[in-house]
Chain A
Amino acid sequence: MTDSTGAREVQVDGSSRLAGWGKVLGIFGLLVAIVVTTGAMNPRFFGAENLENVLQRTALFGIIGIGAAFPIVTAGIDLSIGSVIALVATSLPLLLDAGVPAGAAVVAVLLLAAGLGVIHGLLITRMGLQPFVVTLCGLLVYRGVARYIVDDQTMGFGSDHDGLRSLATGRPFSIGALDVPAPALVLVAVAVLAAVFLGRSVWGRWMLALGRNATAARYAGVPVERVTILAYVICSLLAGVGGVLFALDVNSVQPASMGNFYELYAIAAAVLGGCSLRGGEGSILGVVLGAAVMRLLYNSIVLLGIPSQLEFAIVGGVLLLGAVADEVVRRLAEARRARERARARTERTT
């Protein structure tokens, strides 16, 4: 009898944490399925060049996806990511053209991005504005500013800044025939830091707590305002990092279109990766996998000769499927837990 009681305890015991892992496993399964199908139908998929390309894009979108996850964890949202990218991507070449040293220019645009996050956070916490409204305004304002400061001119880095550009285009080392893109290393670094922060640090725990119930967190002495502001700072900062890398990668920044819709890709990656828009839930590994799934889908649309006009429809369909599957699994788990509890109760009383 003690054996079975012990086993049940472990089940009930682990349920809240296992649910999180279940999501990550689910999205990983989806990723494997896409890889296997696409690879089977078009062997070019496994070519070094293609994988390198997928990895590069996954890294760039993964970084901004991780950023998007933080406001979402606090039950907020950041819609300004794409415009922050545009602003950073136009400001950087502007500063370089003005003769600012590369290192200083990068630091400056990242500070600019982080500063925008501070403004978002203050408007949300001190003014009590809704995150959706604040960042929607950001989306419009930064796009306008980005276009204005460069007079809608396409910006590039020419050939004077190849050293700086290697941050995005460099291939520091190879695994077999695959040259690993530099942004992938940036992604790994960002992901590890973000995962430790969210999963292990006191501030990360506070962020998850206030996402669950901001009032309760405040009553428990969590510095709710500061933690919320931090979430928006992290998001904008990572959008800035993404903006720098995107700009260096394409080398031709069009102010009107740079980063358009990227906030939606970032949010989609976060949601696909298991972040709930209700807040309080999220795994960084899941977000990275979510970004990978999005890029792989795009890649297979190209490789399988599916009309590219369908891209959004397919991505949207997969996202919806993920959301439905998640809800179904959640309900099943809930019913199972209720049964476990009832059995435990009857066994206790008899």
Chain B
Amino acid sequence: MTTRLSARGVVRRFPGVLALGGVDLDAGPGEVVALVGENGAGKSTLLKCLAGLERPDGGSMTYEGGVWAPRSTAEAASGGVALVHQELCLAENLSAAENIGLGREPRRGWMPLVDRQALRERAAHALERVGATFGPDVKVERLAAGQRQLVEIAKGIDQDARVLILDEPTSSLTSKETARLFELVHQLRADDITVLYVSHRLTEILELADRAFVLRDGQNAGHLTRDELTREAMVRMMVGRDLAPPAARPEAGRASSAPVLELRELVTDAFPAAAVDLTVRPGELVGLAGLVGAGRTELLETVFGLRASVSGEVRVSGQPERFRGPRDAAAAGLALVPEDRKLQGLLLEEGVRVNTALATLDRRRRRGLVDGAAERAVAAAQVERLGVRTAGIEQVVQTLSGGNQQKVVVGRWLAAEPSILLMDEPTRGVDVGAREELYLLLERLAADGLAVLFASSDMEELLRLADRVVVLHDGQVTGTLDRSVATEEAVMELATGGSREYGVTTT
């Protein structure tokens, strides 16, 4: 097969950091090439070099037989290499057409005015090619995540891209949207377009990729052809070792104890027509499954007092509670590790100590003042317990990896010694190794009697961790699956609104 785009020994240094230490990659026409690796392995940097966002410090890149050294994304895109960002970079206040043509607007003759008609036609054509069901005039702010993705891809198509780089394209898509994206990728491949595909979700790579390059610590860790492509092979190359199989947990005593958290006909403001009943017992790991927008986050936030409930009741250890805010909830023994740790979890510019102590400052206060010694002790204890890899408790959390940042947020709440731990997407953006550590930690905590209720979009995670999976659809519980009967198919069926009986238990 011929090579369309290649990288040979690409080096990229950041002040003091070697992000890429001589990486190779090649991709041919009509090929889907996956790029796999843990966070910080150098995937994004390599993509940015190829797409003109970063310039390599060494090595060479070729494209269609010539030297490839784009100095900007605009230059790369006009050459035919388009990057679809992980966090979609669209101007929400503009229409789909305006976004597709952004920076390359057709002019009306010599005048600095946009030829709106030409722009609309171009955009409509591109949108049709990606299979969009909306028109070019719709404002991006009114589009769902999957539709926005299509706008981004249409933008690449509009630029006659021959190489399309998709960086974590499914991270915010529903499964239906994901399926549609896969169809599109197959179609692009059939149209002889090269797709570079980056994802943490190895299932997607197994399904889509013709070949995969695995990166680790800024180096090539291996290359897998279609025949060699298995989950185990990828994981082994990514982490450089085999992962231990999950250990079975003792179930003794769990079912018999009284629920520590009970939701009785709880109605959230997001779904005023849906009442949720749910119980969690000490030592239980209950998973909340559902599609994006099914109301999992809203439910957790309502339980934690971040949103007012419309009606219904939250009971903690049998006591009805009325939380006016997270403070009340925390005082009652609840903890919430939020979905977006950078936005909702961390003070990024502060150190591990300040971040860890934040939720428990007033419990350890001495005459209104922060107890410095206790604060340091708490931070050090959580770092030790969770195995946070940090140079010390003063290291600024911004400089930690995603997994270690997540551990800091978890540690903050474990320091509060909760009886109920709520987690929203416990391992989003956490790399494989740290993910496994968090799973083991949660299992250990549950074994010690903690009740855990976690929402997850990651099917593997749900099936790996949950004793029971509660599935939501449009804010409503469509079913509860015990571990023994929880399968990917069963969860999906319920998540998409299906009501087939899958050994549904009543709780």
B329, closest chain A residue (CB): A221
Complex: A214 Cα to B399 Cα, angstroms:
20
Interface segment, one of B55-63, B66-74, B364-372, B451-459:
B364-372
Contact A338 B15 (CB under 8 A): yes
B412, closest chain A residue (CB): A220
* Interface presence of A335 (CB below 8 A): yes
Interface segment, one of A10-18, A231-239, A255-263, A300-308:
A10-18
* Interface presence of B327 (CB below 8 A): yes
What residues of chain A lie closer than 8 Å to B326, measured between beta carbons?
Answer: 218-221
Contact A217 B16 (CB under 8 A): no
The answer to whether residues A344 and B391 also contact, given A202-B361, A202-B370, A206-B361 and a CB cut-off of 8 A, is: yes
The answer to whether residues A342 and B369 also contact, given A16-B351, A206-B361 and a CB cut-off of 8 A, is: no
Contact B16 A202 (CB under 8 A): no
* Interface presence of B11 (CB below 8 A): no
Give the contacting residue for A12; candidates B17, B336, B345, B395; CB below 8 A.
B395
Contact A280 B349 (CB under 8 A): yes
Q: How many residues of A contact B (CB 8 A)?
A: 39
What residues of chain A lie closer than 8 Å to B445, measured between beta carbons?
Answer: none
Complex: A340 Cα to B302 Cα, angstroms:
43
Contact B18 A201 (CB under 8 A): no
Q: Mark B125-165, 1 if CB is under 8 A from A, else 0.
A: 00000000000000000000000000000000000000000
Contact B350 A341 (CB under 8 A): no
Q: Mark B307-329, 1 if CB is under 8 A from A, else 0.
A: 00000000000000000011101
The answer to whether residues A219 and B345 also contact, given A17-B394, A337-B399, A341-B399 and a CB cut-off of 8 A, is: yes
User: Among residues 33 to 50 in chain B, which have CB atoms less than 8 Å away from a CB atom of chain A?
Assistant: none
* Interface presence of B343 (CB below 8 A): yes
Complex: A203 Cα to B392 Cα, angstroms:
25
| Interchain nearest-CB distance for A1 vs B (Å) | 15
* Interface presence of A50 (CB below 8 A): no
Complex: A150 Cα to B348 Cα, angstroms:
50
What residues of chain A lie closer than 8 Å to B345, measured between beta carbons?
Answer: 216, 219
* Interface presence of A165 (CB below 8 A): no
Task: Give the dominant DSSP class at A's interface.
Answer: helix
Contact A215 B344 (CB under 8 A): yes
Contact A219 B338 (CB under 8 A): yes
What residues of chain B lie closer than 8 Å to A220, measured between beta carbons?
Answer: 326, 358-359, 412
* Interface presence of B447 (CB below 8 A): no
* Interface presence of A97 (CB below 8 A): no
Contact B15 A202 (CB under 8 A): no
User: Among residues 183 to 221 in chain A, which have CB atoms less than 8 Å away from a CB atom of chain B?
Assistant: 196, 200-203, 205-206, 209, 212-213, 215-221
User: Among residues 375 to 395 in chain B, which have CB atoms less than 8 Å away from a CB atom of chain A?
Assistant: 391-395
Contact A280 B347 (CB under 8 A): yes
* Interface presence of A161 (CB below 8 A): no
| Interchain nearest-CB distance for B321 vs A (Å) | 15
Q: Mark B214-254, 1 if CB is under 8 A from A, else 0.
A: 00010000000000000000000000000000000000000
* Interface presence of B460 (CB below 8 A): no
A331, closest chain B residue (CB): B15
Complex: A15 Cα to B349 Cα, angstroms:
11
What residues of chain B lie closer than 8 Å to A344, measured between beta carbons?
Answer: 391
Q: How many residues of B contact A (CB 8 A)?
A: 40
Contact A9 B306 (CB under 8 A): no
What residues of chain B lie closer than 8 Å to A213, measured between beta carbons?
Answer: 343, 346-348
| Interchain nearest-CB distance for B333 vs A (Å) | 12
The answer to whether residues A8 and B391 also contact, given A206-B361, A212-B350, A213-B346 and a CB cut-off of 8 A, is: yes
B336, closest chain A residue (CB): A219
What residues of chain B lie closer than 8 Å to A222, measured between beta carbons?
Answer: 327, 358
Contact B394 A212 (CB under 8 A): no
B399, closest chain A residue (CB): A341
Q: Mark A334-349, 1 if CB is under 8 A from B, else 0.
A: 1101111111100001
Contact B17 A342 (CB under 8 A): yes
What residues of chain B lie closer than 8 Å to A343, measured between beta carbons?
Answer: 16
| Interchain nearest-CB distance for A52 vs B (Å) | 35
A-B contact count (CB 8 A): 110
What residues of chain B lie closer than 8 Å to A8, measured between beta carbons?
Answer: 391
Contact A15 B396 (CB under 8 A): yes
B301, closest chain A residue (CB): A219
Q: Mark B64-103, 1 if CB is under 8 A from A, else 0.
A: 0000000000000000000000000000000000000000
* Interface presence of B362 (CB below 8 A): yes
The answer to whether residues A13 and B15 also contact, given A209-B354, A221-B330 and a CB cut-off of 8 A, is: no
| Interchain nearest-CB distance for B361 vs A (Å) | 5
* Interface presence of B110 (CB below 8 A): no
Contact A335 B16 (CB under 8 A): yes
What residues of chain A lie closer than 8 Å to B395, measured between beta carbons?
Answer: 12-13, 15
Contact A202 B369 (CB under 8 A): yes
| Interchain nearest-CB distance for A229 vs B (Å) | 15
Complex: A220 Cα to B17 Cα, angstroms:
33
Contact A201 B368 (CB under 8 A): yes
B391, closest chain A residue (CB): A12
Contact A341 B16 (CB under 8 A): yes
Complex: A58 Cα to B217 Cα, angstroms:
55
| Interchain nearest-CB distance for B455 vs A (Å) | 15
What residues of chain B lie closer than 8 Å to A14, measured between beta carbons?
Answer: 394
The answer to whether residues A335 and B394 also contact, given A200-B370, A209-B347, A209-B354 and a CB cut-off of 8 A, is: no
Contact A205 B349 (CB under 8 A): no
What residues of chain B lie closer than 8 Å to A196, measured between beta carbons?
Answer: 369
* Interface presence of A223 (CB below 8 A): yes
| Interchain nearest-CB distance for B428 vs A (Å) | 15
What residues of chain B lie closer than 8 Å to A335, measured between beta carbons?
Answer: 15-16
In this complex, the member of B15, B16, B217 whose beta carbon has the largest number of chain A beta carbons within 10 angstroms is B16
In this complex, the member of A221, A337, A342 whose beta carbon has the largest number of chain B beta carbons within 10 angstroms is A221
A346, closest chain B residue (CB): B18
Q: Mark B1-19, 1 if CB is under 8 A from A, else 0.
A: 0000000000000111110
User: Among residues 315 to 341 in chain A, which have CB atoms less than 8 Å away from a CB atom of chain B?
Assistant: 334-335, 337-341
Complex: A341 Cα to B18 Cα, angstroms:
11
| Interchain nearest-CB distance for A109 vs B (Å) | 27
Complex: A341 Cα to B15 Cα, angstroms:
10
What residues of chain A lie closer than 8 Å to B369, measured between beta carbons?
Answer: 196, 200-202
What residues of chain B lie closer than 8 Å to A217, measured between beta carbons?
Answer: 347, 358
B337, closest chain A residue (CB): A219
| Interchain nearest-CB distance for A242 vs B (Å) | 25
What residues of chain A lie closer than 8 Å to B359, measured between beta carbons?
Answer: 220-221
Complex: A216 Cα to B18 Cα, angstroms:
32
B413, closest chain A residue (CB): A220
In this complex, the member of A196, A216, A344 whose beta carbon has the largest number of chain B beta carbons within 10 angstroms is A216
What residues of chain A lie closer than 8 Å to B370, measured between beta carbons?
Answer: 200-202, 205
User: Among residues 75 to 99 in chain A, which have CB atoms less than 8 Å away from a CB atom of chain B?
Assistant: none
Complex: A12 Cα to B344 Cα, angstroms:
25
| Interchain nearest-CB distance for B158 vs A (Å) | 36
Contact B350 A219 (CB under 8 A): no
13 new A-B contacts at CB < 8 Å, known A206-B361, A213-B348, A216-B343: A13-B395, A15-B395, A202-B365, A202-B368, A209-B358, A213-B347, A215-B344, A216-B344, A217-B358, A219-B336, A221-B359, A341-B399, A343-B16
Q: List 10 A-B contacts (CB under 8 A).
A: A9-B391, A16-B349, A202-B370, A203-B368, A209-B347, A212-B347, A212-B349, A213-B347, A218-B325, A219-B336
Instruction: Report the 10 A-B pairs with minimum CB-CB distance, sorted nearest first.
Output: A339-B16, A342-B16, A212-B347, A13-B392, A338-B16, A12-B391, A221-B330, A335-B15, A13-B394, A220-B358
